[in-house]
Every structure is written in C-alpha cells, then in structure tokens.
Structure 1
Amino acid sequence: MLTRGHARPDAAAAEADTRTSWCPSGAAHAPESLVLGVRSGLDGQVTYLADAVPAAAVLDQIPEDIEPRRILRFASHCVTDCANRRGGDCTLVERVVAAYPAPAGGAVPRCHLRAGCQWWAQAGVEGCRRCPALATRHPADDELASLVADPDVTPEQLAAWTAAHRD
C-alpha cells in the first residue's frame, strides 16, 4: 500500500511506467476504443461525453454511408507503430500545439480520458485546451488540418505556414 511521503516500491514504479497510454485521436474500430465525444455540426468542436462509452456499443448504430470519425471522436490505446510516435512521445500533439492557437478562456474541457491521456501527460494544459478543435477525420480541403495530421511536417513548418496564411 502506498502512503503519502514514501517512495513507491520498485515493482509499482515499473508498473506505472509501463501502463497503457490513450490517444484522444484514436481508431474507431480498435477493440478497446471509446467514444470520447461528439462533434458539433455547427463549428466542428468536440463536446465530451460525461462517461466513457465503448465504441463497439455505438458503431453499429451509425448508418453505413457515414464515416464514424466525422461525427464522433474516439480514443484508443497509443501503439508503438503509430506514424505519429517518436520514442515515447506523440508528435501529433506537438504539431497541434504549434499550429492551433489556444482558445480564449483558459479552461480545460471536462474529459474522462485525462488520467491516461498521452497528450495530457506530454503537453499538459496546452494540448488539452486544443483537443476539442480537432477531428480524427477532416475534410480534404482543410489544408492546415492535413498538414497537422502529416507526421512528416514539423512544428516549425506549421508555424511558417500559419504565419504565411494569417488573415
């Protein structure tokens, strides 16, 4: 049993270091996938669900001609062979923080994923505040979203693109 002020035993420390992290921009059909939230039809922002809902419980309710990622945000386990993975880090959250301004207001959204979220662990408040603006599936004509999704694009390239395309 762990108590305040005492170091964790080595076995507990090793277990904590190897726990599974969650991707808030995950796959819809992975066995562990959860519905993180619903995308608004007005502005595309994600409204987070109060409780986790297994994706398998809702996927068969979505009409075949609708891509689930266009209306729902899914979370699934981070995987080592992900194109956005570099060592233990997620390069997607790095690009998101570089490309998208933090929304006004400063509050982080309520989210049931936070305790295990890779983005929260890696980027903290800065990643979390930008999360509602992201879509796992985005329209092809959204150039910035396409650049952010590309693992080969660096945060510096995103900053240059953003500077060149300011209104």
Structure 2
Amino acid sequence: MKDIAVDKTTLCPSARPESEDSVVFGIISGTVAEPRVTYLKQPLPITNELIAKASPITPAEIFRTAAACATKGCQHFDGQDCRLAMRIVEKLPPVAEELPPCSIRRDCRWWQQEGKAACMRCPQLITDNYNPSEVAIQVSKLAAS
C-alpha cells in the first residue's frame, strides 16, 4: 500500500479550482484555437477574491490549478497511474521546445509518471475548454487508451 503522505504531496496538474487546497500555477493565454499556459513563478492559493476575478467565466477556463492527487477518488486513476497523463502523452503533440518553467513540477503526478513528455504537452491543456479539438476530446474521455 502506498504511503499516504506521498499521495498528499503528489499534485494533480488538472485539478478543479474548487478542489480542497487547490493552487493556481498557470494562466491560460494564447488564442481560442491555440491556448497556452503561462506559468506563474510561484503557485497562488485559490481564494474567493481570485475566483471573483474570473467572473463571468469559470476559473478553470483561465487558470490551471493543481491540488493533491485524489488517486482512487479520481476517474482517471487506475490504481497505479493517471490514465489522463498517459493519453496526453500518447495522443497530443508536444507544444513546448524545452521544459516549461513550472512551479509544481517537483510534486506533479504527470511529471513523476510521464516525465518530460508530459511537460512538453502541458501548456496546451485547459480544464474547462468549450472549444476543444477532436484530439482533446479523445484525450479527455475515459475510454481505455
């Protein structure tokens, strides 16, 4: 059985902003067709004030947030690995030429599991994407990869 302390410090880089103790580690920039995450130097705790600044859109449309990996409580977790991270690496093209300056990398589930391949694809991901590409739709689905 895994050490619970390890799970508490392993962060999901695709957590919902309303997750307990979630932090913003990036802001969505770029275009609707080609969104890109601009990474913050330090993660910021999600506060009511920060959520209010996102209005009228959802915080997950403009913030990339991280929170403790829910492991068995997450639909993407297979008991050992994050299937979402596996599908991201398998199906999405890299969009970064070098490792992005990510403040959560050391504790990131995707980095720990998939390494540099996940990081090179991470900047194109938006949690609440209302204009996803066909590939993004395939990646986010729960179907076996």
1:142 to 1:103, Cα distance in 2 relative to 1, 3 A: closer
Higher relative contact order (CA 8 A, sep 6+): 2
Cα contact 1:33–1:55 (8 A) shared by 2: yes
- Please report the TM-score for the alignment, with normalisation by the length of structure 1: 0.76
Q: Which runs of 5+ in 2 are unaligned?
A: none
* 2:125 is the counterpart of 1:134: yes
* 2:44 is the counterpart of 1:53: yes
The match for 1:90 is 82
1:141 to 1:129, Cα distance in 2 relative to 1, 3 A: closer
Determine the C-alpha separation between the residues in 2 that align with 1:124 and 1:75. Answer: 17
1:21 to 1:140, Cα distance in 2 relative to 1, 3 A: same
Aligned length in residues: 140
Alignment of 1:57-68 (within 5 A): 57-63=49-55, 65-68=56-59
Q: Which runs of 5+ in 1 are unaligned?
A: 1-13, 155-167
Larger Rg belongs to: 1
- Please report the TM-score for the alignment, with normalisation by the length of structure 2: 0.86
Out of 99, 104, 118, the residue aligned to residue 113 of structure 1 is 104
1:44 to 1:140, Cα distance in 2 relative to 1, 3 A: closer
- Which whole-Å deviations, capped at 9, do the CAs of 1:51-83 have from their partners, x for residues lacking one? 1100125112222x3111111111111112111
Out of 58, 61, 65, the residue aligned to residue 74 of structure 1 is 65
Aligned residues: CA RMSD: 2.0
